[in-house]
Amino acid sequence: MTSVQQEWLAAARTAMEIEAASVSRAAGRLDGELIRAVDLILAHAGKVVLTGIGKSGHIARKIVATLCSTGTASVFLHPAEAVHGDLGIYTPGDPTVLISKNGNSAELLALVPLLREFHSPLIGILGCATSPLAAELDVLLDASVEREADPHNLAPTASAVTALALGHALAIALMCARNFTPEEFGKFHPGGQLGRNLRLSVREAMHTGDEVASVAPGASLKDVIIQMTRRPLGGACVVAPDGRLAGFITDGDLRRALTNHDDIRELRAEDAMTRAPVTIRPEASLGEALELMERRPSQISVLPVVDETGRALGLIRIHDIYLGSR
């Protein structure tokens, strides 16, 4: 890496550190004003309108997306288009969140008297608490920063990130206030991997019956290998005579058995199996199954599925969770 490239890397790291410090300071300033904003929004059954111009407008759009996906109906209003008919989105009492770095945007200031006609409570995410716009607000969330992240203190970087973080903080506080559940989140995200993880159960994606390699504890290791070759799902359920899962054998278990024994002819399934494997219930969500597989020091790619009595029902692979890639 050249000295010039090292300078680029140092500037990038410094930018992120400045932004992180700005967000941290804003978190420390949170107080009763955030609670007032939450109360104002909860008190109204309608939607929340967010507005901002330039980069603040882009931040407002992202906050709208977060609010909508977490149980608070929201829309974006372009402040310049508002006076050309877009004020028609309002119903009386809809709160407005105004986002501005300096708080002296002419477009936003021109909106204030018009919004008052709609009895709209005004919540500001502003970078200047002494600005003209701040004086017009009902609630002010302080998004001020010591400096921007670029070397010349010009581009709205730290200020934009801080405003976004405050919008996220408001959205999450509203989630808590509404007791918003993962099930509700799934209803708002029916598409994509996130929706799949929340909406679908293990039962809907698992392999059962003849799809699954299933052997008795006393089966020879050769029989286990044959079964797993015929049904290549990455694992075999070792099933006791009463139908309960006695253990589980993965491809890795087979490799370890072959590595540790010169002669495998006398080995049985019970000699190679994991006796207390991680399991999942069929009614669990795909997200819960994924959590079991990935949130561990040593990740696993296949889980045996059992009922409440421990009876072996089948298995689910990580490939079955990711957008149904069966």
Residue range 82-105: average pLDDT? 94
Is the pLDDT at 246 greater than 90? The verdict is yes
**Structure tokens belonging to residue 200:** 């679908």
Delimit the domains of the chain by residue range: 3-180, 202-321
Q: What is the pLDDT of residues 127-173, one digit of tens each?
A: 999 999 999 999 999 999 999 999 999 999 999 999 999 999 999 99
| 323: confidence class by pLDDT, cuts 50, 70, 90 | low
**Structure tokens belonging to residue 84:** 């050309």
pLDDT of residue 299: 82
pLDDT of residue 262: 79
Q: What is the pLDDT of residues 201-226, one digit of tens each?
A: 999 999 999 999 999 999 999 999 99
Residue whose entry in the numeric block shows the structure tokens 């310049």: 80
Percent of the chain having pLDDT more than 70? 97
pLDDT of residue 250: 92
Task: Tell me the C-alpha distance between 295 and 305, whole Å.
Answer: 18
**Structure tokens belonging to residue 225:** 């290998």
- Alpha-carbon distance values, 286 to 136, 292, 304, 314 (Å): 48, 10, 13, 15
Greater confidence (267 vs 122) lies with 122
How much is the mean pLDDT over the chain? 92
Helix, strand, coil fractions of the chain, as percent rounded to 5: 50, 15, 35
Quote the radius of gyration of the chain (alpha carbons, Å).
Answer: 28
According to the 3-state scheme, what is the secondary structure of 279-322?
Answer: CECCCCEHHHHHHHHHCCCCCCCEEEEECCCCEEEEEEEHHHHC
- Count other C-beta atoms under 10 Å from residue 53's C-beta: 19
Residue range 30-39: average pLDDT? 96
Three-point CA angle 228, 234, 235, nearest 5° = 65
Q: Do domains 3-180 and 202-321 have the same CATH topology?
A: no
Residue range 276-285: average pLDDT? 93
| 182: confidence class by pLDDT, cuts 50, 70, 90 | confident
Task: Tell me the C-alpha distance between 269 and 220, whole Å.
Answer: 6
Task: Tell me the C-alpha distance between 247 and 312, whole Å.
Answer: 10
Residue range 61-77: average pLDDT? 95
Q: Which CATH number fits domain 3-180: 3.20.19.10, 3.40.50.10490, 3.90.550.10, 3.90.226.10?
A: 3.40.50.10490
Is the pLDDT at 326 greater than 50? The verdict is no
Residue range 302-323: average pLDDT? 91
Architecture of domain 202-321: Roll (3.10)
